[in-house]
């Protein structure tokens, strides 16, 4: 199986649409394989600062997060595409979102060596300055994910535009997909924490009370503590 | 300058190397001259030249130039720095290239360039070679400053200046190659250049001391390059001495 990494990154809409319309599930499985391998590599580099075991955990959690968000939102994304006027089948909308996550994973994987470089140059967990190192890794992680997210969604926009032919409709669809992906993605990442693992925290796959609270509640509480 | 769109299909050698200006391409002097004069000619020759020989020549140019510059850097402190400085400079640059290569390839594809991973590596190495050739050109100036400067901060500043200038010219080759390879969005190569510059500066900080001396060959304390330079500056202001 030849993995279409170059084609996905170049993001030529006609080429990607052609791959999506090919009979069989070859392209779907290729995207899944790339997304799993690449997000795993990035996850590994993120967790290695805390401990090798944390690295293994995050290498497992990152692909799970991507697959859960894609699968969990497949139905609503397909509905939004139809209701907003795109002539896309459910399969096409699912493939488009998966492709966007796959591109993001490829970009993240290309940042994995840089993350390793950062970890190598950061004080270890046992060091008195480890809190600063944790903040640095967190910041780089946020930047990497934001960058990968923006670029992959720009690619997704071009692809949706190819299907709809109208910029306005494409923008609406992308916005609705982004909104639901953000909604589910933020909560799933909250449940699946820790990713980097703070210096004082335990090395664990999931927190003991993983389902306790939600992402937006935590943001609200933080804002309340800060301002009131 | 070669302004033609270049073909980087390494599997084909349609025109061979005769009668196309590549007759002397196996010679290091040809490669060195053309990397400076017309880097696109070298890059467009990737499909026509014997790859192993070209790669060997590129690596040789880099090693010779960086050893030359490294010795001058080491001459500031003498002792083990005569050989540790060149070794660290080569290691630092090599590690920076390795850390940044995956993002270089992905960013090239994101910018719309249809390039194979191996070709991307050769383009990157060609750009690094231009950097190495230029920096060894600064060696006489660096030597004069090494002999007449007493503080690590100041000599470090001059090396940084030469490093930055050479990097900019090296990276210019990448931008030229990108535009010849039908790059649709220059944001990606420009952003990658920023990543590469930060990484290479950080690698030189991670392998310090390259200029000056220390108790250990590698640093005990891990530091971001900005923090290191800021600390060095504060020390220089407080107690300026060699």
What is the total residue count of chain A? 228
Comparing CB atoms, the residue among A10, A123, A151 nearest residue B114 is A10
What is the pLDDT, as a whole number, of residue B15? 46
- Please say whether the beta carbons of B49 and B17 come within 8 A: yes
Chain A residues touching B116 at Cβ < 8 A: 6
Share of chain B above pLDDT 70, in %: 89
Helix, strand, coil: what percent of chain A each, to 5?
Answer: 75, 0, 25
Range of the domain at A86: 5-227
Provide the residue ranges of all domains of chain B, joining segments of one domain with +.
28-238
Provide the strand spans (E) within chain B. Answer: none
Measured in angstroms, the CA of B238 and the nearest CA of chain A are apart by: 25
Hey, is the C-beta of A114 within 8 angstroms of any chain B C-beta? yes
Chain B residues touching A10 at Cβ < 8 A: 109-110, 112-114
- Please say whether the beta carbons of B237 and B155 come within 8 A: no
Instruction: Cis check for the bond before A194: say yes or no (omega within 30 of 0).
Output: yes
What is the pLDDT, as a whole number, of residue B4? 47
ipTM comes to 0.88
Question: How far apart, in whole angstroms, are the C-alpha atoms of residue A212 and residue B104?
Answer: 41
Q: Say if residue A33's pLDDT is above 60.
A: yes
What is the pLDDT, as a whole number, of residue A2? 75
Provide mean pLDDT across the span A1-15: 88
* CB atoms B109 and A9 under 8 Å: yes
Provide mean pLDDT across the span A18-31: 90
Measured in angstroms, the CA of B130 and the nearest CA of chain A are apart by: 23
Which stretches within B138-186 are classed as H helix?
A: 139-148, 152-180
Average pLDDT, chain A: 91
Q: For residue A199, which of A149, A133, A155 has the smallest C-alpha distance? A: A133
What is the pLDDT, as a whole number, of residue B13? 44
Hey, is the C-beta of A13 within 8 angstroms of any chain B C-beta? no
Indicate the number of domains in chain A.
1
pLDDT greater at residue B6 or residue A228: A228
Which of A5, A10, A112 is the best substitution to test chain B (most B C-beta atoms within 10 A)? A10
What is the pLDDT, as a whole number, of residue B242? 46
């Amino acid at each position: 199986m030849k993995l279409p990494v170059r084609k996905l990154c170049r993001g030529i809409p006609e080429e990607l649409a052609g791959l999506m319309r090919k009979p069989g599930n070859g392209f779907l499985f290729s995207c899944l394989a790339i997304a799993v391998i690449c997000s795993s590599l990035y996850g590994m580099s993120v967790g290695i600062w805390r401990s090798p075991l944390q690295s293994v955990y995050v290498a497992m959690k990152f692909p799970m997060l991507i697959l859960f968000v894609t699968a969990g939102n497949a139905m609503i994304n397909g509905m939004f595409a139809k209701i907003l006027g795109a002539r896309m089948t459910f399969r096409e909308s699912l493939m488009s979102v998966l492709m966007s996550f796959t591109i993001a994973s490829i970009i993240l994987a290309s940042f994995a060596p840089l993350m390793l470089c950062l970890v190598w140059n950061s004080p270890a967990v046992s060091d008195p300055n480890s809190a600063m190192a944790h903040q640095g890794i967190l910041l780089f992680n946020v930047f990497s994910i934001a960058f990968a997210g923006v670029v992959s969604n720009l690619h997704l926009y071009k692809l949706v535009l190819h299907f709809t032919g109208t910029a306005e409709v494409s923008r609406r669809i992308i916005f609705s997909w982004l909104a639901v992906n953000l909604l589910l993605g933020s909560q799933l990442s909250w449940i699946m924490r820790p990713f980097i693992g703070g210096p004082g925290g335990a090395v664990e796959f999931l927190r003991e009370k993983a389902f306790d609270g939600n992402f937006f509640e935590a943001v609200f509480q933080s804002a309340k503590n800060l301002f009131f | 300058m070669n302004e033609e769109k270049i073909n980087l299909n390494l599997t084909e050698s349609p025109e061979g190397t005769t009668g196309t200006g590549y007759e002397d391409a196996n010679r290091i002097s040809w490669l060195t001259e053309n990397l400076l004069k017309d880097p696109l000619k070298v890059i467009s020759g990737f499909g026509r030249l014997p790859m192993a020989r070209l790669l060997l020549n590129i690596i040789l140019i880099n090693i010779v130039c960086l050893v030359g510059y490294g010795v001058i850097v080491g001459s500031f402190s003498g002792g083990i720095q005569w050989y540790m400085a060149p070794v660290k400079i080569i290691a630092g640059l090599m590690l920076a290239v390795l850390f940044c290569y995956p993002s270089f390839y992905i960013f090239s594809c994101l910018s719309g360039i249809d390039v194979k991973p191996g070709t991307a590596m050769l383009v990157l190495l060609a750009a690094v070679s231009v950097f190495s050739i230029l920096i060894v050109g600064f060696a006489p100036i660096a030597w004069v400053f090494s002999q007449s400067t007493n503080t690590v901060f100041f000599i470090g500043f001059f090396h940084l200046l030469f490093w930055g200038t050479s990097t900019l010219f090296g990276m210019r080759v990448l931008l030229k190659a990108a535009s010849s390879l039908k790059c649709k969005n220059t944001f990606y190569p420009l952003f990658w250049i920023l990543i590469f510059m930060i990484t290479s500066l950080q690698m030189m900080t991670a392998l310090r001391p390259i200029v000056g001396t220390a108790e250990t060959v590698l640093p005990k304390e891990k530091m971001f390059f900005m923090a290191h330079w800021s600390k060095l500056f504060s020390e220089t202001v407080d107690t300026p001495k060699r």
